[in-house]
Structure 1
Amino acid sequence: MNFAALSPDESTPFRIIFVCTGNICRSPMAEVMLRDLVTRSGLGRLITTSSAGTGDWHVGEQADTRTISALAKRGYDGSHHRARQFDAGWFDDLDLVVVLDRSQERILRNWAPTERDRNKVRLLLSFDRDQATLRDVPDPYYSDDALFDSVLGMIERANFALFAQLAPAIRQGVR
């Protein structure tokens, strides 16, 4: 994705949402981790992060305890997260819709009302050259703590790659 044309300012931050299935495992990891990176970089006013799920099974619930634990082991706080379901009406207010696997990619592209909105949908691993061929971040929900830790590692690497592409364009647009 080409971020070269960005010119955000403090009144219109660049808005990113991460979307997985239930919004209790992968997308909260991605949201919390990128928000921390953005805040530490001093760009917190210029980039906002959120997350949602394609399904409504967990709406209002905290992130899975294994998600919170995996995040905490790496110094992130996921305790305030509450799951919600993605609403197609949000597309107008978003700049980038980052999905964790191809099933969410298909769903969100089908929900997108315009071609412009469909083009906002991107697989997270596509930002990381080393992981792009994997395409999907595995869903750890039916697995153990070790897979949660491994999935968070994948998400961190991809988020660092996304941020490395996004941050220069954001900084360039700030006067």
Structure 2
Amino acid sequence: MTYRILFVCLGNICRSPTAEAVTRAKAAERGLDVTLDSAGTGDWHIGKPPYGPMQEAARTKGYDLSALRARQVAASDFIEYDLIVVMDDDNAADMAAIGPQDRVKLFTDFTSTTTTYVPDPYFTRDFDGALALIEDCADGLLDRLGSRQA
């Protein structure tokens, strides 16, 4: 069975597309059957590629974000996806206004650290730090998912 996951952040140009690409690469390495996408709660960047500095940070670690394009979350995403993974509490609150919360989880629910949200590197300028946390969260998410598919 293919597990469907949507990653959500504010504008869909930094955190969520990176989470999509990192998780896709790590799932492929593990042979896990997943369908992944990303979206933003805002509409400012629809159709645009991920932010250049985020792409560069990801590229240095072997992840290619260049084909991804921003889109906005839709109510239908609550039907299309088994799990909606948000980057922070603001994203979670925005999702609560759109649909039921039974499928919404914070990405940091899957981290091995005590961090409670993925900081937005668009504002913090810490692209490498965000990427490292996203890698850790992706590993934790896939560990949990892998135990379900075994």
- Count how many residue pairs are aligned between Structure 1 and Structure 2: 150
Match of 1:35 in 2: 24
Mapped partners of 2:36, 2:133: distance in 1: 18
Instruction: Summarize deviations over 1:93-121 as a string: whole Å, max 9, x none.
Output: 11000000000001112211xxxx41100
Q: Report 1:1-175 matches (<5 A).
A: 8=1, 13-43=2-32, 46-112=33-99, 117-131=100-114, 134-144=115-125, 147-170=126-149, 172=150
SS of the equivalent of 1:88 reads coil
Mapped partners of 1:32, 1:62: distance in 2: 13
TM-score for both structures, normalised by structure 1:
0.82
For residues 128 and 143 of structure 1, do their structure 2 counterparts lie closer, same or farther at Cα, with a shift above 3 Å needed? closer
Match of 1:5 in 2: none
Mapped partners of 1:162, 1:42: distance in 2: 14
SS of the equivalent of 1:39 reads helix
- Structure 2 unaligned residues grouped into runs of 5+: none
Q: After TM superposition, which residue ranges in structure 1, 4 or more long, deviate above 3 angstroms? A: none
Larger radius of gyration: 1
Deviates more, 1:120-129 or 1:19-28: 120-129
Q: What's the offset of the Cα at 1:40?
A: 1.6
Q: What's the offset of the Cα at 1:41?
A: 1.5
SS of the equivalent of 2:38 reads strand
Mapped partners of 1:148, 1:22: distance in 2: 15
- Structure 1 unaligned residues grouped into runs of 5+: 1-7
Mapped partners of 2:63, 2:111: distance in 1: 21
The percent identity for this pair of structures is 39
RMSD over aligned Cα, in angstroms? 1.1
